[in-house]
């Protein structure tokens, strides 16, 4: 299982498993101080990178594991809608199918993440929430669309 580091800044570290068609995003505690512009710039830059590599045939991006346990940024509703159009739809266009989200303990952050991913479901990405990283990974590789955590 070859794991490649493909993107990193103070807010997120991203790894790719090319053979598994999997991207892993590990959000950092620094997201607590993230501005909306920084969030949009980070997610758009990452999406553009993934899309470019998919078009070049370098990576196939079907599955995403988002470790949001340290994700503290509160995503405004306007940005949730922006994310559906500028992030989720392009990811689907390059083959995105499933997202496993490992949630943070922060209630407000968790609630806003769920709202954000409701937008992803409107964009036809199958999304499931977990509190356990290993269960999230197992679900991504299962044939089940939904599973209880």
* Structural domains of the chain sorted by starting position, each given as residue range(s) with its CATH number in brackets: 4-140 (3.30.750)
Mean pLDDT across the chain: 86
- Is residue 63 over pLDDT 60? yes
Q: How far apart are CA 31 and CA 33, in angstroms?
A: 5
pLDDT mean over 38-56: 95
Q: How far apart are CA 125 and CA 98, in angstroms?
A: 6
Which tokens go with 144? 């089940």
pTM for the full predicted model: 0.84
Q: How far apart are CA 3 and CA 85, in angstroms?
A: 29
The order of strands in the sheet holding 22-27 is 4-8, 12-17, 22-27, 63-67, 98-102, 126-130
pLDDT mean over 11-27: 96
- Please write the tens of the pLDDT for every residue from 93-146: 999 999 999 986 654 455 555 555 554 445 577 888 898 999 999 999 997 665
Q: What per-residue confidence (pLDDT) applies to 2?
A: 83
pLDDT mean over 45-51: 95
Q: 57: Cβ–Cβ under 8 A, 6 or more apart, which residues?
A: none
Chain centre to alpha carbon of residue 84:
12
Q: What per-residue confidence (pLDDT) applies to 108?
A: 44
């Amino acid at each position: 299982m070859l794991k490649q580091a493909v993107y990193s800044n103070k807010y997120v570290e991203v790894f790719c498993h090319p053979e598994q068609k999997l991207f892993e995003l590990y959000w950092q505690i620094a997201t607590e101080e993230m501005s909306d512009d920084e969030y949009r710039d980070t997610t758009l830059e990452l999406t553009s990178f993934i899309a470019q590599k998919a078009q070049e045939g370098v990576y196939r991006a079907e599955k995403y594991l988002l470790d949001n346990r340290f994700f503290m940024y509160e995503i405004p509703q306007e940005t949730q809608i922006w994310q559906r159009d500028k992030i989720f739809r392009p990811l689907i266009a390059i083959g995105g199918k499933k997202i496993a989200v490992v949630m943070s303990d922060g209630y407000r952050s968790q609630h806003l993440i769920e709202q954000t991913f409701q937008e992803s479901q409107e964009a036809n990405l199958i999304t499931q929430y977990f509190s356990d990283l290993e269960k999230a990974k197992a679900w991504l590789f299962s044939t089940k669309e939904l599973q209880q955590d």
